[in-house]
């Protein structure tokens, strides 16, 4: 999590504006969190929407994929604004999809499907939603400078609707970015 001493310009704590009240975030505003070589900005969270959804803005340069995972009850969606977002999906029954999403493309990551994504081009930007909300809270538990530790992954599994699958063969070596 970004601490008080290293706030990114435009940082606004959603605790001060959200929690069920209407609010407006201007361009560049939100709750910024540095994760590895990327920036994630919380735009709304489960506590702002009575649990219905979470919404984040993500930007970064070419980077390795997120750890494979799935959700019991959460659906994710991504809408690409610039660059290329590579998405891996697997229904864990033999159906596997690898897709490069370009500006204007939308991808749905359904409940129960193992998935991962990676910034596949410099200056990739996208919007992600989570319904119901809650998964966006994992951003506060991830190591901002490297791969998540086993302890961090375990903590997010307990608190959020996510099952991490670090050894699942979702991503082939030849498909990796960064």
Which has the closest alpha carbon to 28: 10, 54, 6, 40?
A: 10
Largest CA distance in the chain: 47
Domain boundaries, the chain: 29-166
Q: 131 or 4: whose pLDDT is higher?
A: 131
What mean pLDDT is predicted for residues 123-133? 96
pLDDT for res 146: 65
pLDDT for res 144: 64
Q: Is the pLDDT of residue 161 over 80?
A: yes
DSSP the chain: ---GGGPPTTB--HHHH-TTS-----TT-BEEEEETTEEEEEEE-GGGTTTS-EEEEEEESS-PPPPPEE-SS-EEEEEEEES-EEEEEE-SSS-EEEEEE-TT-EEEE-TT-EEEEEE-STTEEEEEEEESS-GGGGGGTS-TTSSPPHHHHHHHHHHSS-EE-TT-TTS-GGG---
Superfamily of domain 29-166: Jelly Rolls (2.60.120.10)
Which has the closest alpha carbon to 56: 145, 97, 117?
A: 117
The answer to whether 101 touches 84, Cβ cutoff 8 Å, is yes
The string of pLDDT tens digits covering residues 60-116 is 998 888 889 999 999 999 999 999 999 999 999 989 999 999 999 999 999 999 999
pLDDT for res 1: 38
Give the pTM.
0.87
The string of pLDDT tens digits covering residues 7-59 is 677 888 888 887 878 999 999 999 998 887 889 999 999 999 999 999 999 99
């Amino acid at each position: 999590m970004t601490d008080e001493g290293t706030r990114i310009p435009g940082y606004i704590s959603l605790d001060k504006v959200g929690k069920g009240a209407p609010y407006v975030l201007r361009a560049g505003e939100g709750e910024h969190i540095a994760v590895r070589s990327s920036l994630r900005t919380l735009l709304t969270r489960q506590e702002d929407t009575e649990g219905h959804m979470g919404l984040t803005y993500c930007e970064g340069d070419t980077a390795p994929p997120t750890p494979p995972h799935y959700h019991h009850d959460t659906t994710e969606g991504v809408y690409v604004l610039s660059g290329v977002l590579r998405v891996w999906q697997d229904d864990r029954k033999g159906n596997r999809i690898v897709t490069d999403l370009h500006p204007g493309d939308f991808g749905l990551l359904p409940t129960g499907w193992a998935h991962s994504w990676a910034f596949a081009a410099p200056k990739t930007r996208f919007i992600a939603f989570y319904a119901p909300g809650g998964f966006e809270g994992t951003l506060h538990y991830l190591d901002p400078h490297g791969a998540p530790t086993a302890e961090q992954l375990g903590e997010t599994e307990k608190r959020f609707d996510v099952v991490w699958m670090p050894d699942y063969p979702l991503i082939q070596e030849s498909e990796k970015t960064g």
